[in-house]
A and B are shown apart, each in its own frame.
Chain A
């Protein structure tokens, strides 16, 4: 396939575009991975998004 005298420009265009799209994809995926890790760590600590229960359950006096 002959790309003519300006083949460098054509190849550079396609490569740079592929690079930019890949960078976007990698950013979104890495961001997701970090968010999942952080959420998992918080879940381990027992912190959830659930509304707090009755006030009596919040105190620790009956645990000690």
Chain B
């Protein structure tokens, strides 16, 4: 399958090298467009005034945090079911990115909530389930780093990721199932979006920008993880060949 044989790490690295600059460039352009629209073409909201501009970060970050976990869950299936060689690399690389997006969603939501609802935080179903998602991300990151062997760590993390995926529908439908302070769904609904296009379009552009950003960071992190495993293999080989000068290199943090 030539260059599309993504299961081969070397070919994958070559593909990343070709695709990454274009992705990064596109990401910057879409962010520029999105930020311009967020501040200059989107009108102020009738009820919320200028603070609706926080939504252009908060909502895409929240969408991305769930999309990232979904990608991790699919990667975990790839590890456990199809035994794809790059699946656990994908899952491990995605975790810090997803955690950061969840953090952004929580913080911007908090900063939006203070002027709107009068409080930085409330323990309603939507906010609590997103906080639980954040804890799951951090727990997965911790799990990866406690095991020496990346393959075993990948399998353990895959199991935990799949079990935790039950949180995703809870987050999505929490505003429907429970009486929450957080507003109900207004974009991804059965009847279509209820937001006016002048606000919906900048929102979707920012969401596209964040998605491109995710893929750029994800590919870069996957590349790093592949290099890290190569480094580990070479160090093990050096130690096995009993070459003291090289085996005693800089201390390796079990990242």
Contact = CB atoms under 8 A, between A and B. Distances in A.
State if A and B touch, Cβ cutoff 8 Å: yes
B142 interface: no
Interface string A10-41: 10111011001101110111011001101101
B145 interface: no
Contacts of B104: 16-17, 20-21
B49 A35 contact: no
Contacts of B108: 13, 16-17
Contacts of A10: 50-51, 53-54
A16 B227 contact: no
A56 interface: no
Interface string B197-233: 0000000000000000100010011011001101101
Nearest to A4: B50
A57 interface: no
21 contacts: A1-B40, A2-B50, A7-B50, A9-B112, A12-B111, A13-B57, A13-B58, A14-B57, A16-B104, A20-B100, A21-B100, A24-B97, A24-B100, A25-B217, A27-B96, A28-B220, A38-B231, A42-B231, A42-B246, A47-B237, A49-B233
Main secondary structure of the interface of A (DSSP, over half): helix
Contacts of B114: 9
Interface string B227-255: 11011011101100101011001100001
Given A16-B108, A25-B217, A35 B227 contact: yes
B124 interface: no
Contact of A24 (B96, B115, B227, B246): B96
A17 B57 CA distance: 8
Most A C-beta atoms less than 10 A away, residue of B50, B57, B97, B107: B50
Interface size class of B (residues with CB under 8 A): 35 or more
B49 A42 contact: no
B63 interface: no
Given A4-B51, A9-B54, A36-B227, A42 B111 contact: no
Nearest to B55: A13
Interface string B98-116: 0010011001100110110
Contacts of A21: 100, 104, 213
A35 B51 CA distance: 42
Contacts of A20: 100, 103-104
Q: Which 8 A-B pairs have the closest CB atoms?
A: A4-B50, A6-B115, A45-B246, A13-B108, A35-B227, A4-B49, A9-B111, A3-B50
Nearest to A30: B224
Contacts of B97: 24
